[in-house]
Structure 1
């Protein structure tokens, strides 16, 4: 797809991609306290290896994303409910990380979630466990397994815990899935893309022997990358992590995740400009990565009815916009989405499709004689940074249905920048500076 930088429209050849970012890891090492680390982990999409078209992958992700949106809405409502006794969390996600626990290491796949904090896996003996693709972790076979005492700071950071056989936890997710068990510390081993391992001792995690619900069966647990003290990022005591989501076109492509002080060399070599916007704190939802979205432009037209107040955080913790790797498409506050829909349809010279076959609100009928159409450029105006989306990051098509659709939908309670809009983009979280930076990148070349 080629188009002028200054063109208000782009010629779109229908292609689709997903991406995730990563800093590179050097030699293998046993990490010591207070030493800066650099880990590169490879993430794979939950539908990796399945015989699906790119549109089918998007639609499958949209189904999961709809459930996740319901969870996030429930969290927002729950944050203002003084009667709630058990906090709930996002859970689930679209990407899996391969890692190992224990000594000797036991391998498993974990869902990576930027919307929650706790790291956990299923543990023997299971009173209730779901089916998982790898053997359930047996703490009795590990020399480095240690139960956390109740006075441990991670135990105190849990939203709900009790003290019996050490620190016991209960973590509940928005679809009423849950994990319950003991908090422990273990050695975690990460396999980098260069086949060299990085071992990190004394990582606190949940050893769950009572796990209910069907939201986690793609893996054997979850790795939280949120902003709270229980997350992997917080426990590594490193202020930066980054990801780059690879194209969904190829189901076998992996997406790099970088944790620690190292960032990809492409940051210094790329012709693309690194843009930075502040991270916003929401006291009601401290784990989420909120951004300040101030407006939207389509085809060079700034939508005047959408200003910074449209996406402002409210006093009760609702509203605002989060950037989330675990939600497939972008969801905009309904009032803003209706303005986008109105302007977008006025600028696209194609007949509208109202069949609902694609499961999206804004779809057009593709001309049978051509695979190229003009669509208006889409720009998100964040505080201090404009995100100019490539066409593949907001338009999806299906030749069998003859449809071209906008990969966005409406929401209430909060807005979400999904991973389709982040594909082939290096996304850098700097928790010390409280900023998020992004740069257009070919993720499969990092």
Structure 2
């Protein structure tokens, strides 16, 4: 899907996927023992701090060092993207970074006959000198360029067994924005199940196990990890991950609100999507439930022209100043996969407070944007560790603070 990735801003960057159909039961299981990972010949986990937020930034980012000597670049984390790419100093058209801040590719271009080139949708070539190109199309623009290889410094701390890895990624030198808004980071960090993603490449050279996770703080920041070490030994709710496709998706679920349930097919988990999306029929049912529950609570729906943050906003008697104010009016949703596997979605995971002091719904009508499936975005992942265990084919979550573990071998402290 390297050339078909779709993202857009509504008004923030939002990653959209293609749905895979399947059905699995959910279970609660213990995590893998850390000692097993190390004995199997894998390196320790990589833990990286995040900055950013859902509103007003609309994304979470981290800094990675590339090259020798290493140079830092910021990347938006995206579990829905296959290919990692960075704005590149190769006759770049449309790059938002100053020339001196662009990545300089050198001569390490990936040839057309490289196996990873085929993974991003390119056919083979008889010309050994031809280099591998890529193109990624977005709702709000597109990026194209060439595949390159270079050193990523992933463990700069002392005492790590291996501080760097040579990885394949995109050198983006043609960047087009349909909205006129420039990209705010240097690039996108692809974290999907695709073999071209960074976690898959690290797994291929036994640098880490292919387990990734993130904890996005509702207050801003958080952390990302690659490897199994930070996964709690207990308290994690697990559901099977759909197989075959490179996206992180679960089986069917029910969305409960105030005693009413809405049947969902499959649910996609996407850290690169700012907000949560449902098809129009489901979105309409959700909006109807919320509107009915707000009757008599002295909230007034605000026309989009008066706020402009999101399609649906409510105004109180006084402007909302914090999520604590909002909780007085809005109830919790529960996304339930089985009797024993539920994901709580309190108001702070589906509402933002706009600069006008209104409560705005961070659940969008996906049909308007061409999305006919259920997509759980970053807003609904706040203050939880989300774990994508590609070794065992499962997705897990647990609540807790989102301060990075002190060391890469320290498990996450869950709030049980």
Q: CA deviation at 1:212?
A: 3.4
Alignment of 1:326-345 (within 5 A): 326-345=272-291
Structure 1 stretches lacking a partner, 5+ long = 1-25, 48-56, 62-93, 313-319
Tell me: CA distance 1:128–1:398, structure 2 relative to 1, closer, same or farther (3 Å): closer
Matched, 1:41 2:78: no
Alignment of 1:176-195 (within 5 A): 177-190=141-154
> How far apart, CA to CA, are the structure 2 residues paired with 1:414 and 1:369?
34
Q: CA deviation at 1:107?
A: 1.8
> How far apart, CA to CA, are the structure 2 residues paired with 1:107 and 1:326?
21
> How far apart, CA to CA, are the structure 2 residues paired with 1:206 and 1:400?
40
Q: 1:234 aligns with which of 188, 200, 209?
A: 200
User: RMSD of aligned C-alpha atoms?
Assistant: 3.3
Tell me: CA distance 1:209–1:278, structure 2 relative to 1, closer, same or farther (3 Å): same
> How far apart, CA to CA, are the structure 2 residues paired with 1:193 and 1:245?
23
Q: 1:276 aligns with which of 222, 238, 246?
A: 238
Alignment of 1:62-81 (within 5 A): none
Provide the residue aligned with 1:381 in structure 2: 336
> How far apart, CA to CA, are the structure 2 residues paired with 1:192 and 1:129?
32
Tell me: CA distance 1:405–1:194, structure 2 relative to 1, closer, same or farther (3 Å): farther
Q: CA deviation at 1:244?
A: 0.1
Provide the residue aligned with 2:67 in structure 1: 102
Provide the residue aligned with 1:118 in structure 2: 83
Tell me: CA distance 1:194–1:325, structure 2 relative to 1, closer, same or farther (3 Å): farther
Q: CA deviation at 1:423?
A: 0.6
Tell me: CA distance 1:148–1:368, structure 2 relative to 1, closer, same or farther (3 Å): closer
Provide the residue aligned with 1:260 in structure 2: 227
Deviations 1:26-64 (A, max 9, x none): 9xxxx9x9533310111221x7xxxxxxxxx63663xxx
Tell me: CA distance 1:365–1:209, structure 2 relative to 1, closer, same or farther (3 Å): closer
Q: TM-score, normalised by structure 1?
A: 0.68
Deviations 1:109-128 (A, max 9, x none): 12222111112223333252
8 Å Cα contact 1:99-1:191 kept in structure 2: no
Paired positions, count: 345
Provide the residue aligned with 1:347 in structure 2: 293
Structure 2 stretches lacking a partner, 5+ long = 1-33, 204-208, 406-416
Provide the residue aligned with 1:245 in structure 2: 216
Q: CA deviation at 1:407?
A: 2.8
SS of 1:118's equivalent in the other structure is coil
Tell me: CA distance 1:434–1:327, structure 2 relative to 1, closer, same or farther (3 Å): same
Q: TM-score, normalised by structure 2?
A: 0.72
8 Å Cα contact 1:130-1:211 kept in structure 2: yes
Matched, 1:302 2:249: no
